[in-house]
């Protein structure tokens, strides 16, 4: 029978909690044992283990009495840590407390509740919500497990991965946590009250919030296993505790911040290299080119052989050398599935390391490798290394890491892994397959940072050097709008790096004329503007080409708008790279849902149309057509730019805001109507920001010694830390980097460049900064070359600039 405890409740500040320590002792006191890291409580039918992994991180493990109660985590990297814990047992409740977090376990029911150090309610299980439903899985006894958590009135909840439902606040919502193309399942709940819950289960899980609590209900589990993350009231604190538990995100190479060109697919090495050459001839910046599938050949029996078997790619090493000679980088598509005539298929099949389910392409029957098996991961890397990485390839596009499966799913799950059925671990497949590539490449060389672009993820995957993308989304305006909350939810779940196919992957259903249709051009322009403020700016899709020169000539509206935002992306590189360091060194978040920075502004609780990009920039993408009219999808649209349209933008309370393009200052806490000509995305800078900008350049590092511009946005005090290193390799992990703290004192009108901290090989001893004070007349938008500036010669010592 399922376990269903009953408990008397007391309401404290709107949150139901277990009776306090002074309550009457139950008729039968149950057993408990304390240890250096926590406490174990045994009831009549249940064992509850509470362990502190840090003062702000608590693991709760529950299993039926007498069961083994073991769960080896694929996600958690650290173990429980002895600390300064205090123990108390009174009134039928056992309490164990760190300096920041109190945990109380009811000895009769096993109900667990969490409090701050001051005894204020933090989080609590929903009484009566625990379920262990017996079942068998591949003949082995196990359970379907469920646990719900109480939420306070008005409490917002975020996270849970990436989903295409348009929600930011998941209060009152249901979400199926199951890896699929365009959906990323990450069982991390992030509360607006400043705590998080990581549900450590890898099977398909239904999340549902209702008056019965916010519940995780997992298909398979020998126990209930979750972690309470006490962010001490802040969203950044929750993310920091999650990364502390599951691993920090390493630095990507600096060149990944540039513009990337891709499509489905470049059919020859001449075409691939020719795209890079064309960008160079047009003097449009470009840093990366992506080689999609069928470089192995067009016969699906050779699917994903990892070898260049296609005769249109006669010299793959020469192709990579040519791309490098053009000062660009290349990544390549690899899959977890293999055709039956490939060498890697035979090696994996010999050791029974292939799953047997239907995946894409459906015919002939390609098969997915068992990434949960270390030997299979070794074989996979051996082929990638020998056939691709040895060519000098710069990174990986690991496609279909869900892995992509075709219905029905129920028989697929009966495949066996070293950890049990695929059903038991299916959601963790992207974690282990990217882990295999990351760890093997790190073991092969430390001279080149691992960069993996992939469309699926699980908790902990940030440590594998992965950049996520939103999958094969449709080319529609409503889909563009939904990319924003999808990205922000993933960030609130702790995974910091995300992007999407500019223009959407599937345009043919909506735009059969493709790039020749002005309606598609308008969508593509607005999507590219949004992409300039994501972790990776990458054009990709099927059916119609996506290169900038396909959209017209210089001087035409689409071409010019696209080029403008590519240049802006390159100017923002110092800001972006420093923010990436903040992600690595301080568990930061790049694309920030507004509740992260403005938790006291109720208007942003569920605002999914805007976000902060780092600490300074407020971004409001345009997600509706404004200038193109199209009677139906079979007729190209007609443009009308005679009247400039507007976009409402909410400026969060608690700050003043400066229009990036005009320098106009606005008070927070209001909605303004921002004019949005086709080449303008509403972009505001938080007053007090110091925004470092680099030079215009054709590729990352072209003008490494050029002056940097420091834009100061007055109206409040502020600071920013500029980070620099060798731009690739892992020497930064051993201290080879430098930082300069930039501090703005608004009352004194003084910008202070602090003494440089640290050093790295090749660091310039002297550099020039152009300091610009932004107002409505000077130093705005991209036309800063004529803005009045104070030129500062910086040699590493503190400098104060009066403005």
* Number of structural domains found in the chain: 2
Q: Is the pLDDT of residue 208 over 80?
A: yes
Does residue 758 form part of some domain? yes
Query: 415, 421 in Cβ contact below 8 A?
Result: yes
The residue annotated as part of the active site, out of 209, 222, 413, 472, is 472
Peptide bond connecting 364 to the previous residue in cis, omega within 30 degrees of 0:
yes
Residue 227 has pLDDT above 80, yes or no: yes
Question: What pLDDT was estimated at residue 669?
Answer: 98
Q: How high is the pLDDT of residue 777?
A: 73
- Strands 259-261 vs 537-539: parallel, antiparallel or unpaired: parallel
228-253 pLDDT, tens digit per residue, is: 999 999 999 999 999 999 999 999 99
Domain boundary among 204, 221, 246: 246
- Distance, CA of 354 to CA of 376 (rounded, Å): 9
What pLDDT is stored for residue 360 in this prediction?
A: 86
Higher pLDDT, 778 or 776: 776
Angle, alpha carbons 742-746-752 (nearest 5°): 25
**pLDDT value of position 2:** 35
User: Does residue 22 register a pLDDT over 70?
Assistant: no
Q: What CA–CA distances, in Å, run from 14 to 111, 120, 536, 560, 656?
A: 18, 11, 42, 55, 34
Indicate the pLDDT class of residue 776, thresholds 50, 70 and 90.
Answer: confident
- C-alpha span between 466 and 398 (Å, rounded): 9
- pLDDT tens by residue, 626-649: 999 999 989 999 999 999 999 999
Considering only CA atoms, which of 498, 471, 452, 219 is closest in space to residue 360?
471
The answer to whether residue 182 is domain-embedded is yes
User: Of residues 183, 402, 404, 597, which has the active-site annotation?
Assistant: 402
CA separation (Å) from 629 to 383, 556, 635?
A: 51, 18, 10
pLDDT (0 to 100) of residue 4: 32
Residues 6+ apart with CB under 8 A from 663: 774, 775, 776, 777, 778, 779, 780
User: What's 252's DSSP letter?
Assistant: P
pLDDT, tens digit (0-9, with 9 covering 90-100), for 648-658 = 999 999 999 99
What confidence tier does 676 reach under pLDDT thresholds 50, 70, 90? very high
- With beta carbons less than 8 A apart as the criterion, state whether 200 and 226 touch: yes
**752-770 burial string, b = 16+ CB within 10 Å, else e?**
ebbebeeeeeebeeebebb
Residue 669 and residue 662: Cα distance in Å, rounded? 20
pLDDT at 408: 53
Q: Does residue 234 form part of some domain?
A: yes
Given 186, 214, 246, which residue is the final one in a domain?
246
Which run of H or E residues covers position 210? strand 205-210
Q: How confident is the model at residue 13 (pLDDT cuts 50, 70, 90)?
A: very low
- In this structure, the number of other CB atoms found within 10 A of the CB of residue 24 comes to 9
Percent of the chain with pLDDT strictly greater than 70: 95
Mean pLDDT, range 577-594, rounded to an integer: 98
Query: What residues are paired with 144 via a beta bridge?
Result: 133
Which one of the listed residues 56, 217, 287, 399 is annotated catalytic?
399
What tens digit of pLDDT does each residue of 615-624 get? 999 999 999 9
130, 5 contact by CB (below 8 A): yes
The answer to whether 399 is a known catalytic residue is: yes
DSSP string, 691-744: EEE----SSTTTTTTSPEEEEE--SS-EEEEEEE--SSSSGGGGTBEEEEEEEE
Q: Are 370 and 355 in contact (CB under 8 A)?
A: yes
Start-to-end CA span in the chain (Å): 73
Measure Cα distances from 508 to 20, 267, 280, 474, 549 in Å.
Answer: 62, 20, 29, 9, 20
Q: What is the mean pLDDT of residues 787-797?
A: 92
Query: Which pLDDT tens digit goes with each residue over 109-165?
Result: 999 999 999 999 999 999 999 999 999 999 999 999 999 999 999 999 999 999 999
Q: How far apart are CA 726 and CA 735, in angstroms?
A: 11
pLDDT at residue 14 in the model: 33
CB-CB neighbours of 735 under 10 Å: 10
Residue 300 falls inside a structural domain: no
pLDDT classification of 24: cutoffs 50, 70, 90: very low
Please give the Cα distance from 61 to 48 (Å, whole number).
6
Three-state SS at 106 = strand
Query: Final residue of a domain: which of 213, 246, 279?
Result: 246
Position 66 scores a pLDDT of 87
Instruction: Please give the Cα distance from 743 to 746 (Å, whole number).
Output: 10
pLDDT at 784: 52
- Residues ≥6 apart with Cβ < 8 Å to 800: 750, 751, 752, 753
What was the pLDDT predicted at 5? 32
Where residue 521 falls (left for φ over 0; alpha for ψ -120 to 50; beta otherwise) is alpha
Give pLDDT, residue 641: 97
Cα separation of 554 and 282, whole Å? 9
8 A C-beta contact, residue 763 and residue 794: no
Q: Which two tokens stand for residue 196?
A: 């998080």
**Cβ–Cβ contacts within 10 Å for residue 444, how many?**
14
- Whether residue 474 lies inside any domain: the answer is no
Determine the Cα–Cα distance for residues 691 and 720; give it in Å rounded to an integer. 8
Sort strands 57-64 and 46-54 into parallel, antiparallel or unpaired.
antiparallel
Chain-centroid distance of CA 176 in Å reads: 19
Q: Is residue 147 a contact partner of residue 129, using CB atoms and an 8 Å limit?
A: yes
Q: Is the pLDDT of residue 10 over 80?
A: no
Of 568, 582, 570, nearest to 741 by C-alpha is 582
Q: How many helices, marked H, and strands, marked E, lie in the chain?
A: 12, 51
Confidence of residue 785 (pLDDT cuts 50, 70, 90): low
- C-alpha count within 13 angstroms, C-beta hemisphere, residue 83: 21
With H, G, I as helix, E, B as strand and everything else as coil, classify residue 665.
strand
**Domain encompassing residue 219:** 9-246
Residue 564 has pLDDT above 80, yes or no: yes
Q: Which two tokens stand for residue 592?
A: 């920030």
H or E segment to which residue 374 belongs: helix 374-387
Give the DSSP letter string of 485-508: HHHHHHHHTT---EE--BT-SB-T
Q: Taking a C-beta distance cutoff of 8 angstroms, is the pair 624, 682 a contact?
A: no
Query: Which residue shows structure tokens 């600039």?
Result: 801
Name the pLDDT band for 68 (thresholds 50, 70, 90): confident
Query: pLDDT band at 69, cuts 50/70/90?
Result: confident
**77: domain CATH number?**
2.60.40.1760
- Among 14-28, 195-209, 502-516, 522-536, name the one with the lowest average pLDDT: 14-28
How do the residues of the chain divide into helix, strand and coil, expressed in percent and rounded to 5? 20, 30, 45
Distance CA 456, CA 404 (A): 10
Q: Nearest 10 degrees: CA dihedral of 542, 473, 673, 563?
A: -30
The predicted structure's pLDDT at residue 28: 45
Say if 167 falls within a structural domain: yes
Considering Cα of 479, then 482, then 486, then 487, what sign does the dihedral take?
positive
Residue 748 placed within a domain: yes
State the average pLDDT over residues 78-82. 94
User: Which residues sit opposite 496 in a β-bridge?
Assistant: none
Average pLDDT, the chain: 94
pLDDT at 783: 63
**Backbone dihedral region of 119: left (phi > 0), alpha (psi from -120 to 50 degrees) or beta?**
left
Using CA atoms, how far apart are residues 726 and 763, in angstroms rounded to an integer?
8
Structure tokens that stand for 189 in this block:
């709940």
CA-to-CA separations, 538 to 134, 470, 534, 629, 638, in angstroms, rounded: 47, 12, 10, 27, 27
Task: Return the higher-pLDDT residue of 357 and 604.
Answer: 604
DSSP letter at 371 equals: T
CA dist 558 and 355 (Å) reads 46
Domain assignment present for 130? yes
Report the CATH number at residue 715. 2.60.40.1180
What pLDDT does residue 67 have? 87
Euclidean distance between CA atoms 289 and 421, whole angstroms: 38
């Amino acid at each position: 029978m399922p376990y269903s405890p009953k408990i008397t409740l007391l309401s404290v500040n709107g949150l139901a909690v277990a009776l306090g320590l002074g309550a009457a002792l139950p008729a039968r006191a149950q057993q408990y044992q304390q240890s250096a890291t926590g406490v174990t409580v045994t009831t009549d039918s249940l064992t509850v283990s509470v362990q502190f992994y840090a003062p702000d991180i608590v693991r709760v493990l529950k299993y039926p009495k007498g069961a083994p109660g073991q769960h080896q985590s694929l996600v958690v990297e650290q173990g429980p840590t002895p600390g300064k814990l205090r123990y108390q047992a009174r009134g039928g409740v056992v309490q164990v407390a760190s300096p920041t977090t109190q945990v109380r376990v009811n000895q009769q029911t096993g109900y667990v509740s969490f409090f701050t150090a001051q005894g204020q309610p933090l989080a609590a299980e929903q009484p009566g919500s625990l379920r262990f439903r017996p079942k068998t899985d591949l003949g082995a006894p196990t359970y379907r497990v469920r646990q719900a958590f109480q939420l306070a009135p008005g409490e917002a909840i975020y996270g849970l991965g990436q989903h295409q439902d348009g929600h930011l606040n998941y209060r009152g919502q249901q979400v199926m946590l199951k890896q699929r193309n365009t959906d990323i399942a990450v069982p991390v709940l992030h509360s607006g009250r400043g705590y998080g819950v990581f549900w450590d289960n890898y099977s398909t899980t239904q999340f549902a919030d209702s008056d019965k609590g916010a519940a995780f209900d997992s298909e398979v589990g020998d126990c209930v296993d979750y972690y309470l993350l006490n962010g001490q009231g802040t969203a950044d604190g929750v993310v920091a505790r999650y990364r502390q538990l599951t691993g920090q995100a390493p630095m990507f190479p600096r060149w990944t911040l540039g513009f990337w060109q891709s499509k489905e697919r470049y059919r020859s090495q001449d075409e691939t290299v020719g795209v890079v050459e064309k960008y160079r001839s047009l003097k449009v910046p470009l840093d990366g080119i992506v080689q999609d599938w069928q470089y192995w050949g067009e016969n699906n029996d050779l699917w994903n052989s990892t070898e260049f078997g296609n005769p249109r790619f006669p010299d793959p090493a020469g192709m990579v050398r040519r791309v490098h000679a053009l000062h660009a980088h290349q990544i390549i598509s690899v899959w977890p599935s293999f055709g039956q005539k490939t060498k890697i298929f035979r090696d994996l099949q010999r050791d029974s390391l292939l799953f047997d389910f239907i995946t894409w392409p459906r015919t002939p029957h390609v098969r997915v490798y068992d990434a949960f098996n270390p030997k299979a991961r070794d074989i996979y890397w051996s082929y990638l290394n020998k056939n691709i990485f040895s060519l000098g390839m710069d990174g990986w596009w690991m496609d279909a890491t869900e892995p992509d499966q075709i219905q029905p799913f129920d028989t697929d799950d009966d495949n066996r892994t070293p950890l049990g059925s695929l059903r038991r671990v299916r959601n963790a497949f992207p974690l282990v397959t990217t882990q295999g590539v990351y760890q093997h490449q790190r073991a092969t060389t430390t001279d080149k940072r691992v960069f993996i672009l992939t469309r699926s993820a699980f908790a902990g995957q940030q440590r594998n050097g992965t950049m996520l993308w939103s999958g094969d989304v449709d080319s529609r305006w409503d889909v563009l709008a939904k990319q924003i909350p999808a990205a922000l939810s993933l960030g609130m779940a702790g995974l910091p790096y995300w992007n999407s196919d500019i223009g959407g992957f599937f345009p043919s259903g909506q735009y059969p004329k493709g790039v020749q249709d002005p309606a598609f051009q308008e969508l593509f322009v607005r999507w590219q503007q949004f992409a300039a403020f994501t972790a990776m700016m990458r054009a990709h899709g099927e059916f119609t080409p996506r290169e900038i020169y396909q959209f017209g000539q210089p001087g035409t509206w689409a071409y010019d708008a696209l080029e403008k935002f590519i240049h802006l992306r390159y100017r923002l590189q110092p800001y972006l790279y420093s923010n990436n360091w903040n992600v690595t060194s301080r568990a930061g978040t790049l694309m920030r849902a507004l509740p992260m920075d403005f938790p006291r502004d109720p208007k942003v609780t569920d605002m999914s149309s805007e976000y902060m990009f780092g600490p300074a920039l407020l971004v409001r993408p345009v997600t509706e057509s404004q200038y193109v009219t199209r009677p139906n999808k079979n007729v190209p649209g007609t443009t009308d730019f005679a009247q400039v349209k507007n976009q409402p933008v909410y400026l969060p309370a608690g700050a003043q805001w400066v229009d990036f393009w005009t320098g106009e200052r606005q008070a927070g806490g209001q909605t303004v109507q921002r004019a949005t000509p086709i080449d303008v995305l509403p972009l505001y800078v938080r007053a007090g920001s110091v925004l470092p900008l680099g030079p215009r350049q054709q590729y990352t590092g072209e003008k490494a010694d050029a002056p940097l511009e420091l834009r100061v946005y007055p109206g409040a005090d502020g600071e920013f830390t500029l980070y620099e290193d060798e731009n690739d390799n892992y020497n930064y992990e051993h201290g080879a980097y430098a930082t300069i703290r930039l501090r703005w004192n608004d009352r004194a009108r003084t910008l202070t460049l602090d003494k440089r901290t640290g050093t790295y090989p090749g660091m310039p001893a002297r550099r020039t900064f152009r300091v610009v004070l932004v107002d409505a007349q000077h130093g705005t938008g991209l036309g800063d070359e004529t803005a009045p500036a104070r030129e500062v010669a910086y040699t590493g010592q503190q400098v104060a600039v009066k403005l």
